[in-house]
Amino acid sequence: QVHLAESGGGWVQAGGSLRLSCVASGGTYRDYTTAWFRQTPGKQREFVAGNRWSGDSTYGESVKGRFTISRENAPNWVYLYLNILKPEETDVYYCATGSLIWPSFREEEYTDWGQGTQVTVSS
């Protein structure tokens, strides 16, 4: 089983940027679809962005053009660049991997999850 650990969350003003990182141990992302989800307490996790070994990427409609998912030639690291952040995007952001499906938008398609990192966007 792959162990995932996210970092890079924090506080930012509306319109600002953050970079989230996710590192895998006990395995790699190499053969799987890897994604970022986010969740507000009491709500279902929302797909944010996904990436697969070939370099293809896909994004949720609300983040297209503002967020970028990248592996940057580092097989055990996946990054999420968040730009022009909005207050309503205050959430816990999770990294997930293990899906053999492309594209893969549903959380049940992923087998391994990190503990999440909090992003807070103030207005």
pLDDT of 74 over the 80 cut: no
Q: Which residue has the higher pLDDT, 24 or 11?
A: 11
Q: Which residues contact 65 (CB under 8 A, 6 or more apart)?
A: none
pLDDT digits (tens, 9 = 90+) for 56-71: 999 999 999 999 999 8
What's residue 30's pLDDT? 76
pLDDT digits (tens, 9 = 90+) for 39-52: 998 999 999 999 99
Distance CA 96, CA 48 (A): 11
What's residue 73's pLDDT? 54
